[in-house]
Structure 1
Amino acid sequence: MRLSTLPSGARLLRMALLASLGTLAIFVEAAPIGVGAQATPSPDLLFCVTAAIAVRRPASAPLLIVLTLGLMRDLLTDLPVGMGALALVLGIEALRMRSVAMARRSLLTEWSLVSVVFLGILAMQWLALFITFVQPPYLFDLGRQWVATMLAYVPVVATVRWVFGIGWRRVPAPGRVGFKGEA
């Protein structure tokens, strides 16, 4: 393996940060807080953390880490093993493909794209459970989880950006070759 193909130190730190924050999100999600019929659904913090990092720095959220975090969540929270991980990977890859186009957009545009992708993830999981004759969650509960996750996304993005310093990769304006006269 050539040294040029190895991740840089900053990228390795961002990858370790993703793994750490993802693990913390899984444990917060798995904590038995507010269990019961009338409990409000908890937001999908793992999706929020992974999406916030993958949209800003796609190379810092490699497929293997995202898949491992998804499988770990499936195993720790008694979800169907692999289905949540597959949905997470597909959603993050969809966001990763749009990350270059999102670099010059507002937070509202990013939030809209992330909310549509998460809605697609929920629909895919519901459909997979329905097809396999397992009782899928009620659509009202999925809607509440979607709202909770989208409300949690903005504070997660603010934390990732302002506390951990993972912002957009700087890109030159259209028609410019580089920054400040660089060629």
Structure 2
Amino acid sequence: MADTVLPRVWMMRALYLGLSWVLVFVHLLPLDTMPPGWAGPNIFLALTFAWAVRRPDYVPVLLVALVALGTDLLLQRPPGLWAAITVLGLETLRNRASSLRDLTFAAEWAAVSSTLVVMTLAYRFILTILMVDQAPLGLSLMQLVATLLVYPLVALLSHALFGVRKRAPGDLDTAAGRA
């Protein structure tokens, strides 16, 4: 039975990697020549957190760290800062995944929302301390709110299209055998 679980985990990790790079690619496409007046959601972060809360084994820390670092480099953000904050947020949610398993979607959304708010404030605080130019506060808050609003849709699509469901109490735990 473990032979059928392991390929599914690796297939879902590959799917996560592919979806992440598609999202980055779409973000980099020059679809409009004028700068946008609004900041869209960070769908990569919403996808990562939706999968981390539901199935933490699908989003290993090293994979998320590498994708987030690559995204930092491609989007010309300070290399590694947002990636490190993303990994800290991911680990926070992964550690809470078992307690969130039995709660409602509203509790899950609240946990993800609080994590995203703390991450955004920490990022802005660190950039301020280091005196690095940053986006206006309004755009950062706009992106935060947009990400929070798109999270339920990402969670629903992950559940419906990709089968990323919360682990039931009786499910086989593939991570239990690891030390």
What is the RMSD of the two structures over their aligned residues, measured on CA atoms?
1.7
Stretch moving more, 94-103 or 128-137:
128-137
The aligned length equals: 167
1:77 to 75, 78, 90: 75
Instruction: Output the TM-score relative to the length of structure 1.
Output: 0.85
Q: 1-side partners of 2:68 and 2:153: how far apart?
A: 21
Per the alignment, residue 177 of structure 2 pairs with none
Per the alignment, residue 122 of structure 1 pairs with 120
Q: Where in structure 2 are the equivalents of 1:105-120 lying within 5 Å?
A: 105-120=103-118
Tell me, which stretches of 5 or more residues in structure 2 are unaligned?
171-179
* Percent of aligned positions that are identical: 29
Per the alignment, residue 57 of structure 1 pairs with 55
Q: Where in structure 2 are the equivalents of 1:1-40 lying within 5 Å?
A: 8-33=6-31, 36=34, 39-40=37-38
Per the alignment, residue 93 of structure 2 pairs with 95
Per the alignment, residue 135 of structure 2 pairs with 137
Q: CA deviation at 1:122?
A: 0.7
Q: CA deviation at 1:19?
A: 0.7
- The one-letter amino acid of 1:164's match is F
Per the alignment, residue 40 of structure 2 pairs with 42
Q: 1-side partners of 2:18 and 2:10: how far apart?
A: 12
Q: Which has the higher contact order (CA 8 A, sep 6+)?
A: 2
Q: 2-side partners of 1:26 and 1:38: how far apart?
A: 17
Q: CA deviation at 1:165?
A: 0.6
Q: 2-side partners of 1:35 and 1:85: how far apart?
A: 28
Tell me, which stretches of 5 or more residues in structure 1 are unaligned?
173-183
Counterparts in 2 of 1:126 and 1:22: CA distance versus 1, 3 Å: same
Q: 1-side partners of 2:154 and 2:44: how far apart?
A: 10
Instruction: Output the TM-score relative to the length of structure 2.
Output: 0.87
Kindly name which structure, 1 or 2, has the bigger radius of gyration based on alpha carbons.
Answer: 1
CA contact (8 A) 1:29 1:44 kept: no
